[in-house]
Structure 1
Amino acid sequence: MSSTQAYEYLLECKNVIGVDYDEDEDRVTVFVSQKRPRDCLNDEDDIETRVAEAGDDVDVSVVDSGYDEKREGFDALSTLEPMPEAAEDRQGRHRPVPAGVSEINANSTAGTGGPYPARVEDASAGTATWDDAVEAGDLVRLSNNHVYARSNAADFGEPILQPSPVDGGDADDEVGDIVGYVPIEDGSLVDAAARSVDPDRESATYFGLDEDWPTGVRREGYDDLRGSTVTKTGRTTGVTSAVIEATSASVRVEYPDQGPVLLRDQLVAGPMSEPGDSGSPVFLKDGTLVGLLFAGSSRQTICNRIGNVERELGVEILTADPGSDETVPVYRTTMDHTLEVDLDEPTLALESVTFEDELQPGETVDVSATVAGDPGRYWLGIDDDRATVSIPDGDGSRGRATARLPVSVPADSTGTLTVQLRGGPVAELK
């Protein structure tokens, strides 16, 4: 089975700064800094020639990224100068601090504060580097490495200002300090970092967006998002939207003092950002948090998959504000790629699985499974436990039903849990 990485050899071609493979369409999309006539290219820089020489029988689409000169990568948006003026009300001092307003390391220019609250689950689980003082259960706010950690250059404890220095922020505007980041290096999946918080001075709202967003966190199923509209809220351009063009792209991004760095597994959307928008949270139409914006050009916007941000940092993004004392349950809809689903009839489809409490070895937790199907009675089972649900008649259309079942977590479980869910129609015997 082909993947985007199988076509990274195209990054050797002049002007190529990103590639993405769409398995469903068997098509490679190639992002170039400048689109040039084929008769002006040497064979080693001609994309279609290289694909043919490699024996790859795929469709090829070449997309111009809108640069005026040869480039080796997209721009990391909060590293550019001069910095554009912030959108209205984004550059001011906000207390409590919402996501989507001006915020960055005190020794930098201007960026955007991203998702909050995120709870540290396991600081050793991903590829991040954390301050020794950080403990499981700590709350943090997220943004990009190049926003909070100055592209790997920051020391832990460096202050984060809201608003950013370019927008008038000074020592009196400190809202936290850098406590963790994923190093930016070739092969990275994310440009992400975390700062400390005082929960009394933080807001779980997203500036300019519906108060109930995020309605969820998209952790899996990104390949299905091509063609979907996404919306971001950020310091420079405020609330903007674009359509996702690629979902597993390998892109080169220009970082000062590092040059072009290869990042994999990225979402690429149309134009919806400018310098200073780095760190912006990105949502689907229904309010599901799907990405973390960090780079782009005049024609594309590059975002980390938010599921990769969680995994690489070892955090869980919460969909409610826990306040200073409140404990918020975590509703998980995936199990680190280990959920095995075996549904016996094609008329019944699994839509979601929600674990209604923390998963602890030796304990039993309730699971809510939602299925879609034709009207009728169905059974759903996990191990020896079985529940029956009815999908009502909706004028002949498919409907939904939810069953609740217990799951026992083995006492010796570590890291992942495999859950097998079975189901099918209930036959009427006569």
Structure 2
Amino acid sequence: MPSSEDFEHLLDCRNVLGVEYDDETDTVRVFVSQKLGPDDLDERDDVTRQVTDRNVEVVDAGYDEEREGFDALGVAQIPEAQPDRHERHRPVLAGVSEINADSTAATAGPYPARVTDTDAANATWGDDASEGELVRLSNNHVYALVNDAGFGAAVVQPSPRDGGELPDDRVGELRGYVPIEDGVVVDVAARSARPDRESAEYHELPDEWPTGIRREEYRALKGETVTKTGRTTGVSSASVEGVGASVRVDFGPDHGTITLRDQLIAGPMSEGGDSGSPVFRDETGELVGLLFAGSANQTIFNKAANVEAALGVELLTAEASADAT
């Protein structure tokens, strides 16, 4: 049975940013930075000519110019924050402005997550990290600056772009991350957290969320509504369009474009500065993923199960959070 990886050769075509194979409809969905007609493309760049034995659907990402990757939303241009989210929050709660002190602006992600395996094969942890401790999550490019930050690097809330500065706004230090490289399935990092200075709440979302952690049956999410809370666009929702896509993401001039696999894709619900936002299934309040990239027409987020397995952590529900603290 084919998978999205079998069609990753299409990522080398002009304008192509992502691919996903849907075995239920035998369709290859191809996300492009701009749609061009056959007369404007060389044959090698026309995906409808490259795939002749499957249905092909070309989806416009909305850039209206040639691009090599979706934007990493803590690296892209950062608009102003939503009211209140750029302010100093103590205790810190998910969905407000937070990032490495040497960066611009992004979003504080899920808390608490319990460290379960500092020897996880895909992760790297600092010597001070210990199994059983509680950490807050966001993206690698938010806390670890795309693998460049050293362990112990300061994280501030609010972000520097929103007025946060050292030492007063320091809320934690980089603890661990999954290195960003071609073929990875997550963009995630963890910072230290003092339980007395952290909140398990998600800004402007129901107090009982997350009601659960989505760890399987992601295919069933296609067409479902998901909701995120983030620094720039606040609480917003969109329908899930892809459940196992391979995408190229632009992490800036110093790091270039990197391919990530097995990603969830929803419609537009994010802008620059929303990186790190937790994403929930709207109907149930399950935590389903961690937002990190997107375009004018799409939002891309890691699966919660992949975040846990790759980093070596356990995401906790509201009930478990109360027990942990």
TM above 0.5: yes
CA contact (8 A) 2:200 2:321 kept: no
Residues 286-365 of structure 1 aligned to structure 2 (within 5 Å): 286-320=284-318, 326-327=323-324
For the residues of structure 2 that align with 1:186 and 1:239, how far apart are their CA atoms? 31
147, 156, 159: which one aligns with 2:142: 147
For the residues of structure 1 that align with 2:251 and 2:184, how far apart are their CA atoms? 13
For the residues of structure 1 that align with 2:199 and 2:146, how far apart are their CA atoms? 26
For the residues of structure 1 that align with 2:174 and 2:58, how far apart are their CA atoms? 39
Residues 3-402 of structure 1 aligned to structure 2 (within 5 Å): 3-52=3-52, 57-81=53-77, 83-171=78-166, 172-256=168-252, 257-285=254-282, 286-320=284-318, 326-327=323-324
In structure 2, the residue matched to 1:378 is: none
**Residue identity opposite 2:135 in structure 1:** V
For the residues of structure 2 that align with 1:270 and 1:312, how far apart are their CA atoms? 26
Q: For residues 143-197 of structure 1, give each alpha carbon's deviation from its aligned partner in whole angstroms, at most 9, with x where no partner exists.
A: 0000000111100111100000010101101100001011110001000000000
| TM-score in terms of structure 1 length | 0.73
In structure 2, the residue matched to 1:2 is: 2
Q: Which contiguous aligned blocks of 4+ residues in structure 1 show a shift greater than 2 angstroms?
A: 320-324
For the residues of structure 1 that align with 2:66 and 2:244, how far apart are their CA atoms? 24
Displacement, 1:251?
Answer: 0.2
CA contact (8 A) 1:250 1:262 kept: yes
Q: Could you say what secondary structure the match of 1:224 adopts?
A: helix
Q: For residues 40-98 of structure 1, give each alpha carbon's deviation from its aligned partner in whole angstroms, at most 9, with x where no partner exists.
A: 1111011111112xxxx2111000111132100000011123x2110011001111111
Displacement, 1:125?
Answer: 2.2
**Identity value in percent:** 62
Displacement, 1:321?
Answer: 6.6
**Residue identity opposite 1:314 in structure 2:** G
Q: Could you say what secondary structure the match of 1:78 adopts?
A: coil
CA contact (8 A) 1:199 1:323 kept: no
Q: Could you say what secondary structure the match of 1:28 adopts?
A: strand
Displacement, 1:126?
Answer: 3.6
For the residues of structure 2 that align with 1:46 and 1:320, how far apart are their CA atoms? 48
For the residues of structure 2 that align with 1:321 and 1:98, how far apart are their CA atoms? 16
Question: Structure 1 pair 323/293, CA: closer, same or farther in 2 (3 Å)?
Answer: closer
For the residues of structure 2 that align with 1:92 and 1:327, how far apart are their CA atoms? 27
Q: For residues 213-268 of structure 1, give each alpha carbon's deviation from its aligned partner in whole angstroms, at most 9, with x where no partner exists.
A: 00000011111111111000000000000001101000000012111100000001
For the residues of structure 2 that align with 1:224 and 1:80, how far apart are their CA atoms? 31
Question: Structure 1 pair 50/322, CA: closer, same or farther in 2 (3 Å)?
Answer: closer
User: Which structure has the greater CA radius of gyration?
Assistant: 1
Displacement, 1:323?
Answer: 7.1
The number of residue pairs the alignment matches comes to: 322
Displacement, 1:25?
Answer: 1.2
Q: Could you say what secondary structure the match of 1:312 adopts?
A: helix
CA contact (8 A) 2:212 2:317 kept: yes
Displacement, 1:320?
Answer: 2.9
Q: For residues 348-397 of structure 1, give each alpha carbon's deviation from its aligned partner in whole angstroms, at most 9, with x where no partner exists.
A: xxxxxxxxxxxxxxxxxxxxxxxxxxxxxxxxxxxxxxxxxxxxxxxxxx
CA contact (8 A) 1:204 1:321 kept: no
Question: Structure 1 pair 323/227, CA: closer, same or farther in 2 (3 Å)?
Answer: closer
CA contact (8 A) 2:100 2:142 kept: yes
CA contact (8 A) 2:209 2:318 kept: no
In structure 2, the residue matched to 1:356 is: none
**Residue identity opposite 1:315 in structure 2:** V
**Residue identity opposite 1:156 in structure 2:** F
Structure 1 residues not aligned, in runs of 5+: 329-430
| TM-score in terms of structure 2 length | 0.97
For the residues of structure 1 that align with 2:126 and 2:93, how far apart are their CA atoms? 24
Structure 2 residues not aligned, in runs of 5+: none
CA contact (8 A) 2:211 2:318 kept: no
**Residue identity opposite 2:263 in structure 1:** Q
**Residue identity opposite 1:137 in structure 2:** G
For the residues of structure 2 that align with 1:265 and 1:94, how far apart are their CA atoms? 34
Q: Could you say what secondary structure the match of 2:305 adopts?
A: helix
CA contact (8 A) 1:128 1:312 kept: yes
Q: Could you say what secondary structure the match of 1:147 adopts?
A: helix
For the residues of structure 2 that align with 1:170 and 1:20, how far apart are their CA atoms? 41
Displacement, 1:132?
Answer: 1.1
For the residues of structure 1 that align with 2:150 and 2:103, how far apart are their CA atoms? 13
